Every structure is written in structure tokens, then in C-alpha cells.
Structure 1
Amino acid sequence: MAAPSRSDHVAVLLGNVLHVWGGLQYMDGEEVVLPSDEIWLYDLESGVWLIYFGGYGWKTVREISNYKSFTVDETSWVTNGRVFFRYWGWNNEVHVFEPDTATWTEPQTQGQPPKPRASHASATLGSKGYICGGLETQTIDIHCLDLVTWTWTQIEPLAPPLPMGRSLHTLTPTSHNTLFLFGGLSISGQVLCDGWEFDTVKREWREKPHRHKDKPRVWHSAVQGKDNDVVVYGGSRDYVLVMDTIAVLRSPSQSHCGDVLVFQSQPYSLTR
């Protein structure tokens, strides 16, 4: 059985198994879609967790009253045809998916979690996960979750410069202690093409020169490649999105991209 077409989802490759979760689901070529909470698996294997943070979705009134980690989007609440309401908004929850048992759990975290958000970027270095951006702020924030103790800490950079605040960007490991940030959407609505490296030990941001300054991106994907290159695929050069109280309408005029961008993070060997 094939998974329905979708975009803006999360995809993770664990061994030989592809896990696809969430996103905007398109049925029968329709342009009007709703966010999906489905997860699709291929050739399931055990031994690795998938960890998800935050996002945009809905809760009932009862669920919101019992939660302090959900910010209601007051412009986007709707009824679901019954006596209670579904409120849309942002959360800062952590959920873990165990492929071996196909079950979800919500670990009890410690420390001060990031503010509820969506369209943020995330990456993992060893036993620590990092959350970056996704809020309408002048400068970007970065938070660390220890995946052994499940403790949150906010990382305060020691000195400027700092990247501007953004969403719909990517964050990719380039070494055991560095992360590469690329693109995204600024709080003024500008599609960005700058690249930044964050040193998690020195707690410093450094803007990285690159040869793709003429290729701004949002909604793209990025992975760590050979010799710690960052490989970016797809996305859009423009941001055109209309949201109403029931469905998400994606404009067909968006400038989707099919090219691959490679960012070099270190000198290559003579062999390469």
C-alpha cells in the first residue's frame, strides 16, 4: 500500500528503513489539504528511536486546559462538527517513536523547554538534540536536549554576530561539535540564502561564505554528506502560503526547486 502524496513532512532513514511522518497530505491531486499525523514505515528494523519536537496542530478544549505547553492560534480555531472545539496552535512537546514496537511515548523532560513553535530546525550530535529558530524573533535562539537525562538547556552565544531570526530553515551536523544553518524565512517575509556555523563547545556563531548566494531557500531538506559536506535538496525560492480556518491552500505559483546544493565545511583531501 502506497502512502498518499504529501509535503512539509519529516523523513528519517534508519538503516534500510525509511520513516515518513506528518506533513500536508494531498488526496487525489487536491490542492486543499489538512496536516497529517500518519507515520509510514518500510522494512521495519529495531534499535533506534525517532524523536520529534513541537510543531503546529490542534487540540480539544480539554486537552488545552490540561497543558501548559500549547499556544493557541486565536485566528485558526474551528469546530469539528461535534459539541467541542478544536483549537489550532503551537506546542513544545517531545515525542519518541519506537520502531520495534511501533509505539509513541512522551518522555518527562527537565529544565526550561523552548517556547512552543513550528517550522524550526533540528539536528543531533551524539546524545544531544538541538532545536533552532521557528519563532518570530529578531535573532535566532538555540536549545539543547540531553537525550540521556532528557534535560533542556538554552545555549546563549558568548558574543555576536548572530543570525537573524527565521523559520523553514535547516540545521545540519558538520562535525562532532558544529552545526550548519542554511536559508529559511525571515520575520519580514524574506527568503534567505545565508549560511552559518554554530560551535556547540565555544557557543559561537560564524557566518560561512559559500557559492550559492543567488539561491535562497525555504522548505528545503539538508543532510550530512561525504567529508562533512552539507547537501541541500529542493525547497522553494519564494514563500506563498494562504491559510484559512479549515485547510491549507498551497499556491501553484510557488517556485519549487529540483537542484542540489553542496556546501563544503572543511578542506578536501588530495584524493577527493
Structure 2
Amino acid sequence: MDSARREAAVSRLERSCHTAFIHSNTLYVWGGHQVVAGQDVMLPSDEICLCDLDSGKWECKAITGDSPSDLSGFCGSNINSTLYIFGGCDSNGHSNQMFSVDVAQPCCSWTRVTETKGTTPSPRNQHSCWVHRGRLIYFGGYGCKTVGEVQNTSSSSFIVEEMSWATIGNTLFRCWGWNNEVCVFDTQSSTWSAPETRVRENMLDLCVN
């Protein structure tokens, strides 16, 4: 950790672009960034800050394990005491990786969620998420797809803004744009799915049981 990041991590709790949730009358805050000496400094991913809502006392709790990299534009959601982090952008580009941690455990440890079923959504950031019946429902975001993925996607669910030369496997270029997709992750079965959606009177109908 460089000195600027260390200073940002220990000097104050102010931050932006983080994720926060309440569990058992405790506010949990993870990730985000601060501005230090005019530069954005990412907050460390190996700790989470807790605020007891009765006393107003703050503390920081270490998280071990396979932690996410320094992410911006990620999406964080919780089910009971488990925090899930999906997507975002780091120094290597956009991500479609998922991580989870049970913050109720005495010793918290990150787990990279890799053993999943279904098709993992394409890399993205600036997406949104909500929880429904133990499932994480993601919508939108900016990211990239291969040309083949774009050809197999309806024109309304991914709007191509630009193309760039890069290598993804055997594909030499990729398409960048905004998603209009809904992706569902079932935390019980570790399964990704894409529910049927339709637009009705400027509203999105989502067929999720």
C-alpha cells in the first residue's frame, strides 16, 4: 500500500462510490475512494468499516482471503450478513468477477465466486443491483463485449458506442457500450440466468418468480 493510500485509509471515514448496508443494527461500509492531494485514492479492499447505530462508534475490521482488486464502479449488495461484490473497473480494465464475504463471522474472509452455472454477464461497471428472494438482480452498466456476443444480443439490450483493438482470447477487437440487460444470480444454486424482459409504457417488466 503506498503512502497516499495508507493516509487515506486511516485518516478519516469520508468516501464516495462505496457500498453500504445495515445488518443487526450495524452499518457496514466497504470500498470507494477519497481525494488525497488532488488525486483519487481507492480505499483498501481488505477491510470493512462498521458503525454501531446505538452508540455511533466506528471501527474497522480486517478481511482476509482472496480479496477484490481496487475497484471503481462496482456493485455491492448483501443478503443477510453476506456482502457480494460484482463487476467494476480496475487497472486492468472492466471486470465480471464476483466476490463474497460473510461479515458476521468473527474472522471475515473474501471468497472469489468461480464455481457458477449459466453464462456469466460480460464485464461492466456503473450497473445497479437489488435483492429479490435470495437472488441478486443486476441491471445495466457500461462495459465491453466481443463482436460475437454483440451479434447474439438484441440491439436494444446493448448499445455499441465504440470499438477498440484488443485481444480477448482469439478475438482481436471488442465493442464498448451501455447494457440494457437484466442478469440474475441465484446465491443458493450459484446460477446465472437472464430472465425474459419487455418494455411496457416506458417501464421494464421483469419476469422473475
TM-score (norm: length of structure 2):
0.59
Partner AA of 1:165 in structure 2: D
Q: Sequence identity of aligned pairs in percent?
A: 20
Task: Compute the displacement of 1:263 (Å).
Answer: 1.0
Aligned equivalents of 1:213, 1:181: Cα separation in 2: 14
Task: Compute the displacement of 1:201 (Å).
Answer: 2.2
Match of 1:259 among 181, 188, 199: 181
The answer to whether the 8 A contact 2:94-2:143 is kept is: yes
The match for 1:200 is: 103
Output the aligned Cα RMSD.
3.0
1:148 aligns with 2:54: yes
Task: Compute the displacement of 1:160 (Å).
Answer: 2.0
| Pair 1:232–1:163, CA change in 2 (3 A) | same
Aligned equivalents of 2:44, 2:119: Cα separation in 1: 24
SS of the equivalent of 2:86 reads strand
1:191 aligns with 2:191: no
Aligned equivalents of 2:11, 2:83: Cα separation in 1: 20
The equivalences for 1:16-165 within 5 A come to: 115-135=13-33, 136=42, 139-157=45-63, 159-165=64-70
Task: Compute the displacement of 1:232 (Å).
Answer: 0.6
Which is richer in strand? 2
SS of the equivalent of 2:55 reads coil
* 1:96-140 CA-partner distances (Å, limit 9, x unpaired): xxxxxxxxxxxxxxxx78543322222222322222112326745
Aligned equivalents of 2:123, 2:185: Cα separation in 1: 14
Aligned equivalents of 1:198, 1:114: Cα separation in 2: 24
| Pair 1:137–1:204, CA change in 2 (3 A) | same
Partner AA of 1:119 in structure 2: C
Partner AA of 2:88 in structure 1: G
Partner AA of 1:193 in structure 2: N
The match for 1:233 is: 139
Partner AA of 1:151 in structure 2: K
Q: Which runs of 5+ in 2 are unaligned?
A: 1-7, 34-41, 145-160, 163-175, 191-208
The answer to whether the 8 A contact 1:125-1:173 is kept is: no
Q: Which runs of 5+ in 1 are unaligned?
A: 1-90, 93-111, 239-251
Aligned equivalents of 2:73, 2:46: Cα separation in 1: 12
The match for 1:179 is: 83
Aligned equivalents of 1:214, 1:222: Cα separation in 2: 13
Task: Compute the displacement of 1:257 (Å).
Answer: 0.8
Aligned equivalents of 1:259, 1:116: Cα separation in 2: 32
The answer to whether the 8 A contact 2:74-2:125 is kept is: yes
Aligned equivalents of 2:89, 2:46: Cα separation in 1: 12
TM-score (norm: length of structure 1):
0.46
